Structure 1
Amino acid sequence: MGSVRAMGTGHGHGHGHGAGSDRRRLVAALLVTLACAVLGGVGALLTGSLALLADLGHLLTDAGALAAAVVASVLAARPACHHRTFGLGRVEVLVAGLNAVALVAVVVWVAVEGVARLFEPAEIPGLPLLVIGAAGLAGNLVSLAILAGGDRGNMNLRGAMLHVLGDALGSVGVMVAAIVLVTTGWPYADTLASLLIAALILPRAIGLLREVWHVLLEGAPAGIDVAEVRSSLLAVPGVADVHDLHVWAINDRTPSMSAHLVVTEEAEDATGCGATVLDRAGAALRERFGLSHSTLQLEQHAHVGHEHTCH
């Protein structure tokens, strides 16, 4: 019977419209973030607040992250070509990883500066800090509302939302520190608020970095059990064995798989059964696991002994 390759129906999930909507959301959030950064920069210069400086650093990082996310969304929408057969879908994953690394760098800087200020507290005016923190929080909430309506399955968009959420937490910390300064005059309030902001951001940044690492290492997508995929293929009538099974993701919205299916002797003798096996296997993968992009190779028992397989 020889080998037969069958490609699934492709992506076909209508990401084009969603990608355009997500891009517009990212641009709107970028403009709001830049406005907040200008406000925070003026406030940091006027008050000397470390919490505002930490928030400003985070805002500038966010502005860069959002700008990169916009560029990534444009590149990811470009069609595949002969030398990039999967297109540029991975750009979104790479940008999400860079965003996470930038967040970790900001957290480290804030932590180092905060510890230094514990030994030399600075005098920070509370009332201007409170006003600027409240304005920054309002801007962060607007950005979150804009981004929240997008595709929650888009890693690039989630990375941008994580940055903005960190900013919102930072603004809350600034406001709390300002209230403490106004009511008690305690000089360590601003420094402790900045350290708390860093502690809240770090786990989320590391979580995003781990997710990016998993995708880049061709790990199986979340929610898809490779053992269950194998079992489903073995349950297809006409399939005797499965080997060289691989499940990975181009980005967090595009799972793919490939496998070699050894057909039964009955299937080898049945006219046209190869197409039937492919149809049934492809249907099982699409319906149970959402794997519409699949490559399946059918093999006879005799062919397996002459093939160099990857275990």
Structure 2
Amino acid sequence: MAGELTVAILASSVALMADTAHMLIDASGLALAVWVARISKKAPTGNWTYGFQRAEIVSAAINGIALLVISALIAYESISRLLHPIHVTAFPVLIVALVGVAFNSLTTFIVSRADRSNMNVEGAFQHLLTDLFGFIGTAIAALIILWTHFNRADSIASLLVVLIMLFAAYRLLKDSGRILFEAAPTSVDIAEIKNHLLDLESVQDVHDLHFWNVTAALPAISAHIVVTPDCLENGSMGHVLDQLQDCLIGHFDVEHSTFQLEPPEHAEHEPTMHG
């Protein structure tokens, strides 16, 4: 990165400077990903009842914010150079960009084969992918400058990279934000879950239903289940609980669930939920 930055400064290439800054963020992001992968495996203890599994979500959000910040800085400098172009020494820029394309093609391919359902891995992949596109854009800009002496091509390439980075940042912040704010996963309809639970024998009503992701790979559900009076009288609540959990596992692949089974008259004790 030091060599790339030196070439960028000497050649007056904002596109190459952008690539350097992005690679610095990448290196920091990958270091963070390695650290998060270690601490997320720690077992739950004391007040940390879920352990540190959400560290991967926080890491993804940090990656998204980092992409936004670097995008703003690159955009500012690129627009400035677009309005007031300066001479770009294109040949060394082209050589460095082609080396960057080769290196990032390899690393992007390697990371693409990892478990990208893990948001921590996905964040690292998005960084590498935008790096690859950045070097490709820089190489094309350098070729255009060599052939036509159109120095603004360097700034235009930088702005195209900014758009790619903003899209990657949007995806990471959107996905991590949904989990951090405990929104229901988009892959399943809450009404469909409720209807499936209501179809079970002895279930009269379902309320206070919550569905969220602890991590990208760990969905969880909690609900109050109103059961029939005879269910309470004949002691079959354990059977009903088994049916509820089997329903969620079989239809929605959700293994982590918490249910409160209650009689119909219990509604009087929950006025804010029923009224």
Report the TM-score, using the length of structure 2 for normalisation: 0.95
1:268 deviation in Å?
2.5
Q: For each residue in 1:27-66, what CA deviation from the matched residue of structure 2 results, as whole angstroms up to 9, or x when unmatched?
A: xxxxxxxxxx344224313422110000111110111111
Contact 1:155–1:252 (Cα < 8 Å) also in 2: yes
1:105 deviation in Å?
0.8
1:78 deviation in Å?
0.6
Distance 2:249 2:239 in 1: 15
1:95 deviation in Å?
1.0
Aligned to 1:199: 163
108, 130, 134: which one aligns with 1:170: 134
Structure 1: 5+ residue runs without aligned partners? 1-36
SS of 2:177 mapped into structure 1: helix
1:308 deviation in Å?
5.4
Letter in 1 for 2:245: G
Contact 1:244–1:309 (Cα < 8 Å) also in 2: no
Aligned to 2:7: 43
Structure 2: 5+ residue runs without aligned partners? none
Distance 2:102 2:234 in 1: 68
SS of 1:257 mapped into structure 2: strand
1:79 aligns with 2:43: yes
Distance 2:99 2:6 in 1: 12
121, 134, 144: which one aligns with 1:180: 144
245, 266, 273: which one aligns with 1:303: 266
Letter in 2 for 1:217: F
Contact 1:247–1:256 (Cα < 8 Å) also in 2: yes
Q: Moved runs in structure 1, 4+ residues, more than 6 A?
A: none
Aligned to 1:29: none
Letter in 1 for 2:234: A
Q: For each residue in 1:176-231, what CA deviation from the matched residue of structure 2 results, as whole angstroms up to 9, or x when unmatched?
A: 00110111111111111111111222122112112111111110123121111111
Higher relative CO (Cα under 8 Å, sequence separation at least 6) belongs to 1
Aligned to 1:274: 237
SS of 2:200 mapped into structure 1: coil
Distance 1:100 1:179 in 2: 31
Q: Percent identity?
A: 36
Distance 1:147 1:303 in 2: 52
Aligned to 2:175: 211
1:288 aligns with 2:251: yes
1:112 aligns with 2:76: yes
The number of aligned residues is 274
Report the TM-score, using the length of structure 1 for normalisation: 0.85
Contact 1:221–1:252 (Cα < 8 Å) also in 2: no
Q: After the TM superposition, which of the residue ranges 299-308 and 169-178 deviates more from structure 2? A: 299-308
Q: For each residue in 1:271-301, what CA deviation from the matched residue of structure 2 results, as whole angstroms up to 9, or x when unmatched?
A: 3x11110111100101111110101111112
Q: Root-mean-square deviation (CA), in Å?
A: 1.4
Q: For each residue in 1:60-97, what CA deviation from the matched residue of structure 2 results, as whole angstroms up to 9, or x when unmatched?
A: 01111111111111111111112110111111111111
Aligned to 1:103: 67
Aligned to 1:223: 187
